[in-house]
Structure 1
């Protein structure tokens, strides 16, 4: 298999966690200006040019959640990404969407605002995204009570989404002290070998973080 991705991308890290958890072999196709051939290949296979993209025996699979479900179906390992129970699987999918929509997205909007010329920045929009993150933290604080992982005792697709979401979101809108469960969960995610590996592989790219990466984690 081939994964077209960048190690500093949050959505790429989400997929890397799943690949590393089950020790699935793959070739990494770096998406960067230094590898224009990979960018060309991405564009041919997925005209929207969004990463990550998984290619398996000529089949293109895109969107991080779909890629992980694809791996669960076609390259199953000891760690299952969705429970067998249909209701439990819905809970995992819901939490996956929660992290993508209400943590990852506002984080990315805040970061994107730093890339705009100063005259075109949107302080009102950024303030709203920060409020959304605070609301997400508060909701998650209750959900995580007495849970090791976000959907229960098992590490699932939802945790793959949570790891990079909370990792980067805490950089732009720190998780408050009042959300002790969320802060502890983030620490558990960082200690998970699969995500720790993804974080370490991305360290050389921290100067690219527009707001400035904090000297921690």
Structure 2
């Protein structure tokens, strides 16, 4: 069964066996939004009352800040703490882990275009950077995660922490990985790095990359060819 709802500020499409399972996934995502959103005054992020889970997320953010030389950064001068570049993938991966622990073997969780899937071959489109109703590629995965950072919906919203200015070298960067925590964090961090981020992301353990730069040139990992339909 497929369920669609607005959660974490974006559309979520959840394909799971039944309504009760979908409800459990949505409850987990709503809880993550309530606790970790920088746009809520009562969240842990805004109040500074950090749980063990948020501390773990911030440790992960620190790892990617160091790995990118500060291009990926969740604390920018003059702005509040914003771990959104990691929280979404982390929360959806927790939902996927919950499903597996409950014995659910086939599912597809798509939150704002970041996807965790398992159980069969899934076809996942990568949107054309300029034309809303066209795809520039279709990936076929039989398990794992796909995350895309781009300028489709929110323009140049990813900031290069080294300069404090929007990252504009790329228009789209997709990462395929075994888990969505990694795929989401790597795609955001790589986008912040600009064109250097393509090779950086491809060098991350277990990650494959499909990127479109601002000149509309496509760059992709050679091993990704086996997944392209």
Structure number with the higher helix fraction is 1
Q: Which has the higher contact order (CA 8 A, sep 6+)?
A: 1
TM-score (norm 2): 0.28
TM-score (norm 1): 0.29
Structure number with the higher strand fraction is 2
